[in-house]
């Protein structure tokens, strides 16, 4: 590509020219074309613009009359202004399949592949390719993963001054189970990597089981799960015990068998850090119990739970201070400028940190009512996701509209920060 950096205006013009050229080529016999086809350049541009804009995912979705192109930036899907003609759909999908080392002739079942996409600096970015048949053709999703990207530290993740000491103490426990919970794309892996980095010293043996490996970490034995080859999380955990690993990162607890194995490893003198899909810290406890983990085993092994969400950060160039009369203090609101999208730029994390206490362990052991555990968690010093969001709102990092957008339905209502602050 002759040009690697685009403004939104020049990107749109370049995209339009590529689409126009590709349409013309679709009516031209392939033997009469010179050089790489426009579809090749179009696929290349779609990826390069995603990298430039900081997108995490690119969606290419066929419709009745056209193909919709969308980029996920800061957790939000943004539609590209110009649609791609339907007649280019099969060619574009085939191109992504070729780039991903996939069978371009297979169109009736889901396929997965990977691309090592070259960058101008000589490096590359890893891209996961997923295609699936849909009503109007194959839908393609590209997940962009920069495995060489610098890892964040616990301090850089945005833990509050109240939560950071809790988290650091949990990470340095000699044994037990540390669970990070949240939905997809909530930054769980980034936080787990930061915890590994905190422990990454020559005197400690670290091992991770991941699917996929999203960052390369020197000093950590990173194992890629490959279920087709018989290496699932269960097999990996059994092997980890023979590898003399002291601290283990388990990418995700997906089923009851893996949950049971994780608890048993935590019982044998290892610190096991993992992720789990649950809406908040209290829900994670009940999620483990629902997977038939004996309450007394969970109470004995569980050291702490961190719930996390990613929310958009207010753009520092255009955020506007407003007076919140109800709280008698200034707050900030999104405005929008040339530097951002709708007043937001980048994301920050909200966290809910629950360390275990003797009271909490006894309540889990007796499988007490949820409300009793919630009250005990508050006594232990836990601040909810809403309260962390309210604090970051007061600091001018985000606004309550964004906090509510992400958190509504994620935290028990009695702890809504805007009602209790």
Q: What is the CATH number of the domain that holds 52?
A: 3.30.450.90
The per-residue pLDDT for 147 is 75
Indicate if the pLDDT at residue 360 is higher than 90. Answer: yes
Domain shared by 29 and 165, yes or no: no
416 confidence band (pLDDT: 50, 70, 90): very low
Indicate if the pLDDT at residue 355 is higher than 50. Answer: yes
Is residue 2 in some structural domain? Answer: no
Domain shared by 192 and 139, yes or no: no
The structure tokens listed for 240 are: 């980890």
Alpha helices in 75-124 (DSSP H): 89-99
Domain shared by 286 and 197, yes or no: yes
Average pLDDT (25-36) is 65
Average pLDDT (65-77) is 95
Domain shared by 388 and 299, yes or no: yes
Q: Dump pLDDT digits (tens) for 229-257.
A: 999 999 999 999 999 999 999 999 999 99
Q: Dump pLDDT digits (tens) for 255-292.
A: 999 999 999 999 999 999 999 999 999 999 999 999 99
Domain shared by 15 and 113, yes or no: yes
Domain shared by 376 and 397, yes or no: yes
On the CB side of 179, CA atoms within 13 Å amount to 30
The per-residue pLDDT for 151 is 86
Between 228 and 85, whose confidence is greater? Answer: 85
Domain shared by 107 and 159, yes or no: no
Indicate if the pLDDT at residue 413 is higher than 50. Answer: no
Indicate if the pLDDT at residue 21 is higher than 60. Answer: yes
108 confidence band (pLDDT: 50, 70, 90): very high
d(CA 18, CA 5): 16
d(CA 174, CA 181): 21
End-of-domain residue from the set 145, 173, 196: 145
Indicate if the pLDDT at residue 327 is higher than 90. Answer: no
Is residue 150 in some structural domain? Answer: no
Strand intervals (E) in 239-343? 247-250, 271-276, 302-314, 320-324, 329-333
The per-residue pLDDT for 6 is 77
The structure tokens listed for 162 are: 């109240």
Is residue 134 in some structural domain? Answer: yes
Token pair 């003609």 is found at 85
Cα-Cα-Cα-Cα dihedral sign, residues 158, 159, 161, 165: negative
Average pLDDT (90-118) is 96
Can you give the residue range of the structural domain that contains 249? 155-420
Domain shared by 365 and 339, yes or no: yes
Please report, for residues 85, 170, 269, 303, 413, the alpha-carbon distance to residue 297 in angstroms, rounded to integers and kept in the order given.
57, 18, 14, 12, 29
Mean pLDDT of the chain: 91
d(CA 78, CA 97): 24
120 confidence band (pLDDT: 50, 70, 90): confident
Domain shared by 119 and 260, yes or no: no
Indicate if the pLDDT at residue 36 is higher than 60. Answer: yes
Domain shared by 26 and 161, yes or no: no
The per-residue pLDDT for 325 is 66
CB 82 within 8 A of CB 21: no
Q: Dump pLDDT digits (tens) for 159-202.
A: 999 999 999 999 999 999 999 999 988 999 999 999 999 999 99
Alpha helices in 53-138 (DSSP H): 89-99
d(CA 11, CA 17): 10
Q: Dump pLDDT digits (tens) for 381-405.
A: 999 999 999 999 999 999 999 999 9
Between 332 and 179, whose confidence is greater? Answer: 179
Q: What is the CATH number of the domain that holds 283?
A: 3.40.50.300
The per-residue pLDDT for 48 is 96
d(CA 212, CA 195): 18
Average pLDDT (302-316) is 97
Is residue 1 in some structural domain? Answer: no
pTM: 0.86
Indicate if the pLDDT at residue 224 is higher than 90. Answer: yes
The per-residue pLDDT for 415 is 37
Domain shared by 260 and 327, yes or no: yes
Is residue 211 in some structural domain? Answer: yes
Is residue 184 in some structural domain? Answer: yes
Average pLDDT (68-86) is 95
Q: Dump pLDDT digits (tens) for 141-164.
A: 999 998 767 789 999 998 999 999
* In the chain, % of residues over pLDDT 70: 93
Alpha helices in 110-216 (DSSP H): 163-171, 188-199
Average pLDDT (345-352) is 95
Q: Domain count for the chain, please give it.
A: 2
């Amino acid at each position: 590509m002759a040009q690697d950096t685009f403004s939104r205006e020049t990107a749109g013009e370049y995209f339009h020219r590529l689409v126009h050229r590709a349409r013309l080529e679709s009516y031209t016999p392939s033997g009469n074309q010179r050089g790489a086809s426009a579809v090749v350049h179009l696929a290349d541009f779609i990826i390069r613009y995603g990298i430039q804009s900081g997108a995490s995912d690119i969606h290419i979705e066929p419709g009745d009359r056209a193909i919709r192109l969308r980029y996920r930036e800061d957790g939000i899907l943004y539609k590209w202004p110009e649609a791609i003609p339907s007649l280019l759909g099969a060619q574009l999908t085939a191109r992504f399949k070729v780039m991903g080392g996939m069978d371009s002739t297979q169109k009736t079942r889901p396929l997965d592949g990977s691309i090592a996409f070259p960058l101008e600096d000589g490096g590359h970015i890893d891209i996961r390719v997923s295609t699936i048949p849909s009503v109007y053709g194959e839908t393609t999703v590209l997940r962009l993963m920069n495995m060489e990207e610098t890892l964040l530290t616990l301090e850089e993740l945005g833990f509050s001054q109240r939560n950071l000491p809790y988290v650091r103490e949990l990470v340095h426990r000699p044994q037990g189970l540390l669970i990070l919970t949240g939905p997809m794309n909530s930054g769980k892996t980034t936080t787990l990597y930061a915890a590994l980095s905190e422990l990454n010293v020559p005197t400690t043996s670290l091992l991770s089981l991941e699917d996929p490996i999203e960052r390369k970490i020197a000093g950590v034995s990173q194992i890629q799960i490959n279920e087709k080859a018989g290496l699932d999380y269960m097999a990996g955990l059994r092997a980890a015990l023979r590898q003399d690993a002291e601290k283990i990162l388990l990418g995700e607890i997906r089923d009851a068998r893996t949950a049971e194995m994780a608890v048993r490893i935590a019982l044998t003198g290892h610190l096991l850090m993992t992720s789990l899909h649950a809406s908040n810290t209290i829900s994670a406890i009940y999620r483990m119990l629902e997977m038939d983990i004996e309450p007394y085993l969970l109470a004995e092994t569980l050291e702490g739970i961190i719930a996390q969400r990613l929310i958009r950060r207010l753009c520092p160039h255009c955020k506007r201070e407003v007076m919140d009369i109800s709280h008698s203090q200034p707050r900030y609101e999104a405005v929008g400028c040339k530097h951002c999208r709708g007043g937001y730029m980048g994301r920050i994390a909200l966290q809910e940190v629950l360390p275990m206490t003797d009271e909490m362990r006894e309540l889990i052991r007796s499988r007490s009512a949820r409300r009793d555990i919630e009250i005990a968690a508050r006594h232990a010093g836990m601040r909810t996701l809403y309260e962390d969001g309210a604090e970051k709102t007061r600091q001018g990092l985000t606004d309550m509209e964004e906090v509510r957008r992400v958190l509504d339905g994620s935290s028990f209502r009695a702890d809504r920060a805007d009602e209790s602050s």
